[in-house]
Chain A
Amino acid sequence: MPSNIPAPTRRQLLLGSGALFAWAFVPGRARAENRDPRLLTVVLRGALDGLAVVAPVGDPDWLKLRGDNGLTSDGQTPALPLDGFFALNPVMPNLQRLYHAGQATIVHAVATPYRERSHFDGQDVLESGQAKPGAVDTGWLNRALAVLGPGGRADPGGRQAFAVGPIAPLVVRGPAPVLAWVPPRLPPVGDETTMRLLDLYNHTDPVLARALEERIGLAAIARASGMDGDPDMDRPAVQIGGIEQVRKYFADAAGAAAKFLARADGPRVGALALDGWDTHVNEGIIKGRLANLLGALDGAVAEIETNMGDAWRETVVVFITEFGRTARINGNDGTDHGTATVAILAGGALKGGRVLADWPGLKDADLYEHRDLRATTDLRAVLKGLLKDHLRVDDQDLGTGVFPDSLTVSPTPGLLA
């Protein structure tokens, strides 16, 4: 990651989903209190298995539910203890450290109001802040910014500040002007994408299947013999099946976002998206695909913390996903689309060290439709709590314009220190 980040320009509006989309103003009301809060929203697309991130190891039904496929407090790779009842995936030591330092909060059994199981619709609800999927073209984060009076313009590099990307993630699209920065590294082709295509080819086109298989084999050999790097700058830096690429990409994207937010003249509110969480087959919770991704995410958290520098103490990073996954493991050692999951909050501005959960239990009758972790917390409450206490968006705006028809969903109090 270059230490000197170029200011976003129009040319860089070749937007990738991992790009940072930021608002160029300092929230006015917070500024009036002599605060300078930062908020970074990270959308994890694909439906993150919340139970694989933070497991209720103290729940007597947990072991029955996931068995060998679940996190446990003992065994070869014990989960990292959080509060006695919940424990964290062992690939996430940075998050655990922040948690015990009071700088990370887990919200569990949380979900948007969406109760179907389509990724696209679920992502639309998650990012739009609407109660239902449908024709939406603005996101809750953007609408929150739109109601905030700017307290001063933050204009990175003195360039044209307001470059609106028509293809920014939905969560930041809307009336408030947004600027964009794109990491030089494009998101790599995920294993998940490759495997899905291979599965399709195996069913429909053996010639293509063989060609893709060979390619995967070659990529593995190239990695093993250290032939990874390609000096050609223009080449899309993507490679099939390389977790190292994913790790770098997550760290680059999140780290760059942090550097922008940390700058005195930088933006204060930003969003980016990290894909790859749809784990239907061979999920690999403790070792394998999801463990790799979570490790990369933990690395991204560390990168954000480091790059924020002093601004970390005024920072909240919130990781959200469209819905969770089935409570039980499916027939392919994976999990299918579910309902409740976790939201991860990290940052020095938090009153952390807590798992916030109205735990629904894991007995068959406790599960939503006998299959999913039941949602007991509305994700909108958490997001509203952050927007209210961190950025000072008021209740009325939160309940109407930002999250329409949600006046009955009270902002979660006390999230911030």
Chain B
Amino acid sequence: MALDPKEAALALHRFGCGPRAGSIMAIASDPRGALVAELERPNAGQIVDANLPSSAAANRAVFEYNAARAANTKREQRRREAAAKVAQNSGGESMTEAKPDTAPPTVAQPEAVPLPRQLFRNEAKARFDAAINAEIGLVERLVWFWSNHFCVNANATVMAGGYEREAIRPHVLGRFADMLLAAEGHPAMLLYLDNAQSIGPDSVAGINRDKGLNENLAREILELHTVGVRTVYSQADVTNFAKVLTGWTILPTATNPDHGGEFAFLGRAHEPGVETVIGNAYSEGGVEQGRAVLADLARHPATAKHVATKLARHFIADDPPTSLVDRLARRFLDTDGDLKAVVATLIAAPESWEPEQAKIKRPNEWIVAALRATGEPGETPRMIQAGNLLGEPLWRPPAPKGFSDDDAAWLDGLGQRLEIANAFAHREGIGHEPAAVMETAIGPLASAETQRTIARAESRPQALTMVLMTPEFLRR
């Protein structure tokens, strides 16, 4: 088979996490086949790491940690107050006795990384490592895509990293319906979009406590996760769906040291009765009622179109060709939302292989690509910080809609990317031959102008900075 390094490079940038040393040539005989083969790997997309706690366990650990800290603070305060009292009562005569108590510790212990941050870092490292070490990285890109589609926010819950491993990864090459159910029923989502507190007004709990509905999750499922905004649903559908979802909550952490933070269906808070959502009546069935609505939403044609559009926009172009979106949507419907099949269709589509690199890499894609191109292992805190600076803080999207897939959103950060590329080149750059990094990263794609610019750089750090800032590397 003839080699096609150019298409191989495109495959790695557009659908993967960027080339590593030798990876362009490694797949040059059949770039599309290599992408499909990655989908067929056993356990593709899964992170097996015994050191990462389940999201519920993390939730419990952080709860205990915070409680212990609060108690420590209070204990310290009491001790100081008592010591002050002693000093006061003794009229200042026994200063020597009071001193040991009031004097601040002389040696400040360097404070350990707080547990919530450490847990976040561990999750972030696992995620970055998976992308850095992937052969091509298509499956990781899909994980990132779906994690952003069904986003939660780490400011709202310590479970964001665990959520991705538990709700997104297992289904990234499976069925959309399963991912939808796993995401909406995950404690992280129920907390983030307030459903954990939503109570059916006519439920036992609602009547007793005079509490009511919270529509947030129901609305975002319709607007963002399935059929899409301004499509087939009305406000009544939102309200009814919210009623259906009442009772989907999490076990309290404070009183349940074994299972706190896990999903629970609380019948007592569930709105009783039949509900109609987008023209279908759903009989009362407790948690099954919500599952039935989600199952129908998952196979709705509007959902197929919404998902197909987003996929094509993410991977191919801000305004993707209609023909491509149609093809993806059809495949989605024909296969009952088989996400692997949909991705295979995306890879096979001629529209996916325009030589022009139409999209700008999202910040974290760019950061990971830089590490892959240079072979640097990457330092997790630095990577997290770079993502923050570039406007794509990990697991902290600005809104439930997730991070934008429009190029315009990321162009503003270009100057910041230059600063980070410059810092990276000066910190890690020496020891990397810029010409070799260029060859690894964008070899067959590099324009004559780009090659000339890099060859004429005044220093290696400058050359490396510019390699990371070439259009061929910034884009995909």
Contacts and interface: CB of A to CB of B under 8 A. Distances in A.
Interface stretch (B193-201, B264-272, B309-317, B462-470): B462-470
Given A189-B422, A203-B449, A240-B418, A46 B458 contact: yes
A200 B470 contact: yes
Contacts of B465: 189, 193
A219 to B, nearest CB: 7
Contacts of B450: 200, 204
A61 B93 CA distance: 89
B68 interface: no
Interface in A267-318: 275-278
Given A45-B458, A200-B450, A211-B414, A238 B471 contact: no
Contacts of A188: 422
Contacts of A204: 447, 449-450, 471
A17 B419 contact: no
Interface string B364-400: 0000000000000000000001000100000000000
Interface in B426-476: 426-431, 434, 447, 449-450, 453, 456-463, 465-466, 469-471, 474-475
A187 B457 contact: no
Contacts of B462: 46, 190, 192-193, 196, 275, 278
B469 A197 contact: yes
Contact of B458 (A189, A212, A278): A278
B459 A275 contact: yes
Contacts of A275: 458-459, 461-462
Nearest to B381: A234
Interface stretch (A99-107, A163-171, A356-364, A386-394): A163-171
A1 interface: no
A256 interface: no
Given A199-B453, A204-B471, A239 B419 contact: yes
A2 B450 CA distance: 41
Contact of A187 (B389, B422, B469): B422
Contacts of A14: 427
B429 A186 contact: no
B420 interface: yes
A236 B453 CA distance: 25
Contacts of B67: none
A193 B430 CA distance: 17
A15 B459 contact: no
A201 B418 contact: no
B70 interface: no
Nearest to A336: B456
A119 interface: yes
Nearest to A232: B389
B84 interface: no
Nearest to B419: A238
A119 B389 contact: no
Contacts of B156: none
Contact of B419 (A166, A189, A203): A189
Contacts of A199: 453
A243 to B, nearest CB: 16
Interface in A42-57: 45-47
B257 interface: no
Nearest to A13: B427
B420 A236 contact: yes
B415 interface: yes
B418 A189 contact: yes
A212 B422 contact: no
Nearest to A218: B415
A119 B426 contact: no
Given A193-B465, A200-B470, A236-B419, A276 B453 contact: no
B423 interface: yes
Contacts of A18: 426
A85 interface: no
A27 B422 CA distance: 36
B471 A201 contact: yes
Nearest to A194: B418
B419 A240 contact: yes
Nearest to A168: B430
A370 interface: no
Contacts of B389: 235-236
A47 B407 CA distance: 38
Contacts of B349: none
A52 to B, nearest CB: 15
Given A197-B466, A276-B458, 18 more contacts: A17-B426, A17-B429, A120-B463, A167-B430, A168-B430, A169-B430, A196-B457, A199-B453, A200-B453, A208-B411, A208-B471, A211-B414, A212-B418, A215-B412, A236-B419, A238-B423, A275-B461, A278-B457
25 contacts: A46-B458, A46-B462, A119-B458, A120-B463, A169-B430, A189-B418, A193-B422, A193-B462, A193-B466, A196-B457, A196-B462, A200-B466, A200-B471, A205-B475, A207-B411, A208-B414, A211-B412, A212-B414, A212-B415, A215-B418, A216-B415, A218-B415, A240-B419, A275-B462, A278-B457
Lowest 7 CB-CB distances: which A-B pairs, in order?
Answer: A278-B458, A215-B415, A46-B458, A167-B430, A205-B471, A45-B459, A16-B426
Interface of B: 385, 389, 407, 411-412, 414-415, 418-420, 422-423, 426-431, 434, 447, 449-450, 453, 456-463, 465-466, 469-471, 474-475
Interface of A: 14-18, 45-47, 119-120, 123, 166-169, 186-190, 192-194, 196-197, 199-201, 203-205, 207-208, 211-212, 215-216, 218-219, 234-236, 238-240, 275-278
